[in-house]
Chain A
Amino acid sequence: MLTILESCSNIPLYKTKSENKIVRVPVNAFLKSKYLIVIPLDVSYNITVIKKTETDFHSLVMKCTHADNPVQFIGNEFKCSLHGSIFDNSGKVKTGPAEKPLYSLVTELINNELIINLK
């Protein structure tokens, strides 16, 4: 199942499912924004993919590294509503209590398709 939605914060959402711990995203999902929130419906957390250049993409798991609460991407940073941790758009901690950056996932562009490795 593939669905592209538009969130209220103007960051497109992309719903899909993983296969063999791989999430596939067509590169044209980035036509409107350099950010995309991927919602793998069979996985516990969303993924924010950031298009750094035409060929370089960075994927971050939207899970706070302090107490595993889902984070939200608001105003170019990730916020955790549970204890107030804030991460910048590269996943680095800006405000604790989290100490570790957001988990990043290996992401490759192959034949106009992003391959996000969940392993």
Chain B
Amino acid sequence: MIFGKNSSTSIGGYGNYFYQYNSNLNKSEINLERTVLFFGHKFSDRFSFFSEIEIEDAKVSGGEEGGEIAIEQAYIKFYVSRNTYLNAGLFLPRIGIINENHLPNTYNGNERPMLEQLVIPSTWRELGIGIYTQLDALPMNLSFAVLNGLNSSGFEHGTLIRGGRYEGSKASANNLAFTGAVQYNINKFSFQVSGYAGGTVGFSPKEADSLNLESGPLGTPVILGEANVQYKNKALTIKALATTVSIPDAKQINSAFANNTPESAFGYYVEAAYDLIHNRKSEKKRSLLAFVRYEKMNLNSTIPTNGIEDPTLDQSHVIAGLTYFPIPNIAIKGDVRLSHTGDQNPSLVINPDPTAPPFENDIQFINIGIGFSF
């Protein structure tokens, strides 16, 4: 054995909590959004185990809304060779930036980018097997994974495919998904292209036929494509990401489940951040990032003939703020999110809450919080 102990168990974790003021509701909230513990064990140079256990919103009480306890990852990692390994179990495929790198000290703003919550439903984990390789001769990483697919009966209006994730819990294995990513790093740039294609009907062929849905490994598919580029030069960091989602059989999904599934969605964001204390020689570990991010997305850019358009899902967000790192593992964050949406469609307003405030196209959020990882 070289470079460390042959066998060991490690513990880590991350978490974040923040205060949020919502101008539309004229209301504030403070929440311990996530507390996550990592447990890993290295059996040998080749075999190791890695897991994350997450508690959302601090507690889960019987019958109350909110809160979640979930296994976010639990997989065996097997090194086939020095630069190639397999993950087998519940893991986060390489799609977008946040899904794999979601620790709160790796992104700006108290909230994860809206696009990587709503269009790419991070953190998106499923059961399967993946191969990851890093080339020696080129600064390139490749990954490919076969996973269980999605459940289109779980799709919900407004959250695209998020509700269709099984997240390792009694997932249908009748339908499958294939996902892959290519990362290329050169000098100050890092490029990534990733894709996902998976079936969304896990029923038996007989059940699927009765609902007029196509079953099988890639039946009634969801296809997602994503590309991003990151640039870092001394104090300046720029990130840009774009993604599209296609659900060609959305009409059949709506007929079966009446969940107003769109045929396509898209989104992109651009973020620039600058470390204001980068040039101070005394600041070896501390950094103070000023950042601004613009996000644009439409979660129902095309809808099937039996769908109902919702202009509120055509959104843009401007997020600006500061992230202060007293040490690299702790991020103190303050930001403002200015959100703009299209108008409400009266056809979608059923039994309105009489106490709800009037609809507004523009809402401001003020967020102050702390994130950490270890």
Contacts and interface: CB of A to CB of B under 8 A. Distances in A.
Interface of A: 5, 7-9, 13, 18, 21, 37, 39, 41, 43-46, 61, 63, 66-68, 70, 72, 74-75, 79, 81-84, 92-97, 99, 103, 118
A81 B137 contact: no
A95 B373 CA distance: 10
A46 B183 CA distance: 19
A45 B134 contact: no
B277 to A, nearest CB: 13
B152 interface: no
B103 A83 contact: yes
Interface in B30-68: 38, 40, 42, 45, 48, 50
Nearest to B10: A67
B12 interface: yes
**Interface residues of chain A: helix, strand, loop or mixed (majority):** loop
B205 interface: no
Interface string B1-26: 01110000010101000000000000
Interface of B: 2-4, 10, 12, 14, 38, 40, 42, 45, 48, 50, 79, 82-83, 100-101, 103, 105-106, 134, 136-141, 183, 185-190, 232-233, 284-285, 327-329, 373-374
Contact of A94 (B79, B185, B328, B374): B328
A103 B3 contact: yes
A66 B38 CA distance: 11
A72 B141 CA distance: 10
Given A72-B134, A96-B374, A103-B3, A9 B139 contact: yes
A43 B1 CA distance: 9
Residue in A46, A74, A93, A103 with the greatest tally of chain B CB atoms within 10 Å: A74
Contact of B139 (A7, A18, A39, A118): A7
Given A9-B185, A75-B232, A95-B105, A44 B138 contact: no
Nearest to B372: A96
Contacts of A8: 137-140, 186
Contact of A72 (B2, B82, B185, B233): B185
Q: Which 10 A-B pairs have the closest CB atoms?
A: A84-B101, A96-B329, A97-B373, A84-B106, A74-B185, A96-B328, A75-B188, A8-B138, A9-B139, A118-B2
A8 B186 CA distance: 8
A67 B83 CA distance: 15
A30 B249 CA distance: 58
Contacts of B134: 70, 72, 81
Residue in A37, A43, A95, A99 with the greatest tally of chain B CB atoms within 10 Å: A95
Given A45-B3, A97-B103, 10 more contacts: A9-B139, A46-B136, A63-B4, A67-B50, A68-B42, A74-B139, A79-B190, A96-B103, A96-B327, A99-B329
B2 A44 contact: yes
Nearest to B42: A68
